[in-house]
Structure 1
Amino acid sequence: MDAQLFANLVKEISSGKQLPDALYLHKDAFSVLPKTLKGFIPAVAQALNIDDNDWNLVKLFKKEFRLSLLHYPDFYTDSYPPLKQSLNVDLAKLTHKITLYSDSENPPILHRKEAMILADNPHYDTFCEITKEGENAGLYENSRLIGFKRSWENIITRHGYELVDGRLFRSSAVIQPEDIGIDRHKTALVRHELSAPMKTLAKYGYLEGSYSIFDYGCGRGDDLRELEAHGLDALGWDPKFQPDNEKINSDIINLGFVLNVIEDQDERLDALLGAWELTDRILVVSVMLANENYISQFKSYKDGVITSRNTFQKYYAQSEIKAYIERCLQENVIAIAPGIFYIFKDKQLEQHLLQNRHKRAYKWQYLTAPEPVNEDQARILFAKHQQLFESFWLTCLTLGRCPANNEFAQTEKIKEVVGSNKKALQLVLKWFEEDELKTAETMRKEDLLLYFALAMFEKRKPYTQQPEDLKRDIKAFFDTYKIAQHQATELLFQIADSALIESLCIEAEKLLPAGKIDFENGQPHALTLHKDFITLLPLVLRVYIGAALQMYGELDDIQLIKIHIHSGKVTLLGYEGFYDSPLPQLKERVKIKMADQDVDFFDYIIEEKRPLLLNKIDYIDDTFDDYKKQKAFNKRLLKDLIKVGGLNISKLQLEALLHEKNVKINKYKLIRLQASQLL
């Protein structure tokens, strides 16, 4: 196989995703390849000891004797699968390079997958639908941004959509891009700052959001992360860390500290010319400067030196690099700072800068600002803003997670003090108990599971129509809506397990502040508790009660709930005078039969015949206003009444018993009557 034959064979291929310089084809579509090429590609993989399971797509270059074997393990299960590994093979130089993306926060992703398989593939129609969704939503209007996971997610959000289980749904509310006020936080550490050339762009107002940015030689992507945090249109490429990213035209190209690390002068020139070709408005070039005394300490190599770290560096003088750029590009070069230069293709913009460069000074506000550098500094910062951080902590406990910007009223103040809500959380965890937050997280997750389980009873709106805070909760606690639904379904099934319900009721009686289990024939029959304690129950019992209440409604006039352990029933008890009388009167009883989806109502209209709650003390604790008075009342009353027939009596029956004992009830007191009072 030689370069000419390779080019001819690639040219014959009409299938696959066709780009100007290359085509992509899935392994399952190799039947359309010319026979020679069909055998050649696997042979290359085998020669380089690449397992057949470690690649499933091939990228064939049209103008170069080169191919790439790409591994998208989620090709068929993810609508926009991320790249896990790439093997780039230069067949002309007989060299290859493997790049791993497993740990990348922003890996390349695939679009238009239907073009990479054949029409008879069972996934073809689904892939077409996915692409059509994106087109209808207008997501492909700016194709330069769609090739990376984080950028793609930002585009989806800005267009008012949510990605749910790989499909696009209209959001109930669109998250607006954050204001990128250019105010640098004064406590930011140097290692978290923008690079020097990016700082100059911020200073002159080019990072306000009006310009697209491409970082030519982005390294590990530190600048890109900061720019993306501000919602800017920023992409990058690097020969070592991001070699598979496309080099694309942008308003601003940053060639930051690249020229001085290339030892080959021809490659150095190619880098400068290549960056200029991609530039639509401004090229920013920056290099390392040094004088002869500094350079003399290193070993000379070509036109530069070998440093103590065994790396090449070409140190420049300011005038030297300026003259070099002017000579190569034949353009005006504007010195912005030592080692930093602007070259404008947009000449009007160039004049604007020259006229106004000293009039505007923006400071960058770091969204990725670090926490204080040491404990003393952190302690001082916390003491200075203690009320702010305490309020923030309470919000975290309420949500069970770090609040979004619009979920904490003083977020702007947090940004001024420490940079972001996320950094604030890291700081407050130094003073408050992390276990508290974990408990709050567990409680919030359980509440959500309860919510989803009960939603199955009343067919609530699908996830795409839920409010934004709920979507954040789902992401934080379950990752996806599908996982949340699966866990909720399993939870709902557990309420049919009577053995589990019995054990949980026994456990609950021990843990609740108040409540009582009734027995029949020596076996647990029902757990009765006050409605204030429902939230303290094990989650399965909360679902048990909640499922029953879907057939009843709110508990406004109900005080006690009885969980029938073995019959799948719940009884609701409403009393008159529960909170201000020692002997509340039962006026309403509701029996909910979940298996039959039926509800029975029993009203006690005649006041004298209403059953009295003689053991109210069993269902309240010291948080109730009348707890102490009730405890003293029951201690005396029940001692006498148990001897004469038990607890289940009506108001009329009680009055008769009290009359026999010459006793009268006055509020929470038992008063013995004198002989004259009995007449």
Structure 2
Amino acid sequence: MPGSRQIERRLTAISRSGLSMPARQALVDQQIRPDSTVLDYGCGRGGDVRLLRRMDFAATGWDPYYFPDSAPERADAVLVTYVLNVIEDPVERRETLSRAWELARSVLVVSTRLVWERGKVTGDQFADGVVTSRKTFQHLFETRELRDLVQEVTGVRCVSAAPGVVYAFRDDTARIALLARKIVPDADWLASDSTTSAIASVVDFTERRGRQPRLEEMPAPLSELLGALPASELQRLVRRSADPVKVSEGARRTTLNTLLFLAVELFHGRGPFGGLPLPVQLDVRSCFSSYLEACKRADRLLLKLRDDAYVRDAMRASQVGKLTPTALYVHRRAVERLPTVLRLYEHCAAIAAGRPESWTVLKLLHQGRSAGWLDYPDFDSDPHPRLHTSYSVEMRTLETTHLSHAASGDRPLLHRKQEFLAPDDPDAAKYRRLTEAEVRAGLYDRPHLIGTELGWEAELVRCGRLLRGHRLVRRPAAVMPGTA
């Protein structure tokens, strides 16, 4: 162990009233499931364990200080939550990670604090981190550093689930299934309590997916209702009931989603056809002449992502988003409407460095490859929402940048909100009317002044205007002394 300082690791453990961010992320990504066991390795005071048990998950915890009595037992999912960053010895960090990996039957979920939190950690430099006045230690990780460490120790490809959260899988098919869920939407099935309603659910699936489902990919209650119906009869009923236009549109959407998934899978390491989730296998068979043809088309799509001219043309052709001289900005609600190569751009960045939990606007540079997720928490309620945080990844180096504007008195803000949305977004017309009123009032005559709060407020005063929600009104004349 470097140096001779006494480090009090136990003091970094905190009491939790809600699940930690990594545990929430694992739940969202279905890495913690009702039928799985969970071990929180280095659980501190055991907050996540208690909360998971309250949610009826089979969770246990082990900690060398707070819960040292029983040896940790193997579990389907093992969480190592903010443990590695409090260990001052790099060798011990790797040993801890290795022991946790040995205990994981299915998935290891590793999370650490990141370098952008340096401002929250005060103390003296020690080894490769900081010792605080409470004698606790913090090594703040780079996003890529954490991913590389987990991959080196486990020897498997990892997925960055969120900034500072990495998954390592025992079975590569589980990694591929996660990628598929993030890209190809899971089927939504209409509620069914009779054969007639079950057939309607299959028709709905066929219109949205562009193909009829197989019995084995249906929910159990639905397959039981339809199990006695001959396959040929079900096919006939669906063909008679389904809207051909919707089926055709569903097939086009499924084709693009499948290409997107296969391209992301190549970016992250492609497996055999048999390792794909069953619905994706069926999509491939429905939309392509062969798996080889689908892979070739996906490979070409990934190559196009490296072509600056092609990416810029895709941004110009996009029916959604605001294009500036350097980047395309798109609201979260409109991202799925982007051209497929631009959706691939965002997914590759997210898989490499993690997509943040909270974000509102996606930023894609067309000069170089850098993706950013910008958080405007009040986008819908504030006529000119203020930027709270931004997180970006430079895709060639995988270097990440995080900026917080929460404490700033002059935050960047947005104008022309409708330009970030799809033209048919329910709120676009309201935002467009406000923009037109602001243009008429002269508020955009000096665009170099209005990019931040103070400049925008000064222009509102200059033009004699106030905002009432998403309406622009005249500012009342000031009452001069002696004129009352």
Query: Which TM bucket (shorter chain)?
Result: 0.5 to 0.7
Structure 2 spans left out of the alignment, 5+ residues: 1-170, 175-193
Q: Distance in 2 between matches of 1:582 and 1:651?
A: 12
Shift of 1:655: 1.9
Aligned twin of 1:653: 455
Q: Distance in 2 between matches of 1:677 and 1:551?
A: 58
Secondary structure, counterpart of 1:585 in structure 2:
coil
Aligned twin of 1:241: none
Structure 1 spans left out of the alignment, 5+ residues: 1-169, 174-383, 520-524
Shift of 1:403: 1.1
Shift of 1:669: 2.8
Whether the 8 Å contact between 2:203 and 2:241 is mirrored in structure 1 is: no
Shift of 1:435: 3.9
Q: Distance in 2 between matches of 1:628 and 1:678?
A: 39
What is the 5 A alignment of 1:178-577? 387-408=197-218, 409-414=221-226, 416=228, 419-420=230-231, 422-459=232-269, 463-478=273-288, 481-508=291-318, 512=319, 514-519=320-325, 525-554=326-355, 556-577=357-378
1:601 aligns with 2:433: no
Shift of 1:532: 2.0
Whether the 8 Å contact between 1:614 and 1:647 is mirrored in structure 2 is: no
1:586 aligns with 2:376: no
The one-letter code sitting in structure 2 at the alignment partner of 1:651 is E
The one-letter code sitting in structure 2 at the alignment partner of 1:544 is Y
Secondary structure, counterpart of 1:527 in structure 2:
strand
Q: Distance in 1 between matches of 2:381 and 2:409?
A: 18
Q: Distance in 1 between matches of 2:241 and 2:443?
A: 55
Shift of 1:623: 5.7
Secondary structure, counterpart of 1:586 in structure 2:
coil
Q: Distance in 1 between matches of 2:391 and 2:309?
A: 24
Shift of 1:444: 1.5
Whether the 8 Å contact between 2:362 and 2:374 is mirrored in structure 1 is: yes
Shift of 1:610: 0.7
The one-letter code sitting in structure 2 at the alignment partner of 1:405 is L
What is the 5 A alignment of 1:605-624? 605-621=406-422, 624=425
Q: Distance in 1 between matches of 2:345 and 2:412?
A: 27
Shift of 1:661: 3.5
Aligned twin of 1:668: 470
* TM, length-normalised to structure 2: 0.52
Structure 1 residues 444 and 674 mapped into 2: Cα distance closer, same or farther (>3 Å)?
closer
The one-letter code sitting in structure 2 at the alignment partner of 1:437 is V
Q: Distance in 1 between matches of 2:349 and 2:454?
A: 33
The one-letter code sitting in structure 1 at the alignment partner of 2:302 is L
Seq. identity, %: 21
The one-letter code sitting in structure 2 at the alignment partner of 1:665 is L
Whether the 8 Å contact between 2:259 and 2:297 is mirrored in structure 1 is: yes
Whether the 8 Å contact between 2:389 and 2:405 is mirrored in structure 1 is: yes
Q: Distance in 2 between matches of 1:473 and 1:645?
A: 48
Shift of 1:471: 3.3
Shift of 1:624: 4.8
Q: Which one is further off, 623-632 or 441-450?
A: 623-632
Q: Distance in 1 between matches of 2:422 and 2:259?
A: 28
Which structure has the larger Rg over C-alpha atoms?
Answer: 1
Shift of 1:658: 2.2
Q: Distance in 1 between matches of 2:299 and 2:430?
A: 45
The one-letter code sitting in structure 2 at the alignment partner of 1:593 is E
Whether the 8 Å contact between 1:641 and 1:647 is mirrored in structure 2 is: no
Whether the 8 Å contact between 1:517 and 1:527 is mirrored in structure 2 is: yes
Shift of 1:578: 0.6
Structure 1 residues 601-637: Cα deviation after superposition (integer angstroms, max 9, x where no partner): 2322334211110121212357655444322322222
The one-letter code sitting in structure 1 at the alignment partner of 2:323 is I
Q: CA RMSD in A?
A: 3.3
> Which runs of at least 4 in structure 1 moved beyond 6 Å after TM superposition?
170-173
Structure 1 residues 186-229: Cα deviation after superposition (integer angstroms, max 9, x where no partner): xxxxxxxxxxxxxxxxxxxxxxxxxxxxxxxxxxxxxxxxxxxx
Structure 1 residues 677 and 621 mapped into 2: Cα distance closer, same or farther (>3 Å)?
farther
Structure 1 residues 623 and 581 mapped into 2: Cα distance closer, same or farther (>3 Å)?
farther
